[in-house]
A and B are shown apart, each in its own frame.
Chain A
Amino acid sequence: QKEVEQDPGPLSVPEGAIVSLNCTYSNSAFQYFMWYRQYSRKGPELLMYTYSSGNKEDGRFTAQVDKSSKYISLFIRDSQPSDSATYLCAMSGPSGTYKYIFGTGTRLKVLA
């Protein structure tokens, strides 16, 4: 079993839809949770990060962590064609660990 599981998609939604992207993980020591967005043939860019459980909102994006279920989500409201990309979750911890564990990424396509 992989430490981090992420559905590869592709996920196709119409413009304006609410998108839900998810990852599950097995290591209860993870404390920091990140979402990266990667456009085709580009490097990933950090979108959001969350510490421990709870929600974090930034514009149209909301990151949610449920440590009891070992489940994290990224919600995109009012999705736009420019949101079409691959979204990777990443996690790290415990304290003193440098290493991020990445999900395989979910490919999202927002149709105009």
Chain B
Amino acid sequence: DGGITQSPKYLFRKEGQNVTLSCEQNLNHDAMYWYRQDPGQGLRLIYYSQIVNDFQKGDIAEGYSVSREKKESFPLTVTSAQKNPTAFYLCASSIKGRSHYDGGYTFGSGTRLTVV
């Protein structure tokens, strides 16, 4: 079955620690995205990538970093510079990401990150 796999499902981070969230897709989609979801705020775009080895900042990129070394993979690192990282993180992909609509996003099941 084609889809997006996010891991882990739950992640706990200590103060001052960097953590990496995994996102893998086997849909052969070019574009991949990371969103953060907080209660009452909807989905906010962190980073996106339209092609391997290229990515752009979204609306709330501070304190986060990404890489896109393979088409299938788009890991997100939450660094210690992110002061309020507790949230639900969603990875998504779309076919091309270059037109205003290309079939919509396919989302993963999310990773819930909690600071302890």
Q: Which residues of A contact B (CB under 8 A)?
A: 4, 6, 8, 31-32, 34, 36, 41-46, 49, 51, 88, 92-100, 102-105
The one of A42, A94, A102 in contact with B100, judged by C-beta atoms closer than 8 angstroms, is A94
List, sorted by A's number, 20 A–B pairs whose CB atoms are closer than 8 Å.
A6-B42, A31-B100, A34-B104, A41-B109, A42-B110, A43-B4, A43-B107, A43-B109, A44-B105, A45-B107, A46-B106, A49-B104, A88-B42, A88-B43, A96-B98, A98-B31, A98-B50, A98-B98, A99-B45, A103-B42
Determine if B84 is an interface residue (Cβ-Cβ < 8 Å): no
Least Cβ distance of B88 to chain A in Å?
Answer: 8
When distances are taken between beta carbons in the complex, the residues of chain A under 8 Å from B43 are 44, 88, 102
When distances are taken between beta carbons in the complex, the residues of chain B under 8 Å from A102 are 42-43
Least Cβ distance of B70 to chain A in Å?
Answer: 20
Known: A99-B45, A102-B42. Contact between A43 and B99, CB under 8 A? no
Q: Which residues of B contact A (CB under 8 A)?
A: 4, 6, 31, 40-43, 45, 48, 50, 90, 92, 97-101, 104-110, 112
A41 touches B110 (CB 8 A): yes
B97 touches A98 (CB 8 A): yes
Least Cβ distance of B7 to chain A in Å?
Answer: 13
When distances are taken between beta carbons in the complex, the residues of chain A under 8 Å from B109 are 41-43
Chain B's closest residue to A49 (CB) is B104
| A31 vs B4: C-alpha distance when bound (angstroms) | 27
Known: A43-B107, A43-B108, A45-B107. Contact between A32 and B100, CB under 8 A? yes
| A98 vs B50: C-alpha distance when bound (angstroms) | 9
A98 touches B105 (CB 8 A): no
Least Cβ distance of B77 to chain A in Å?
Answer: 20
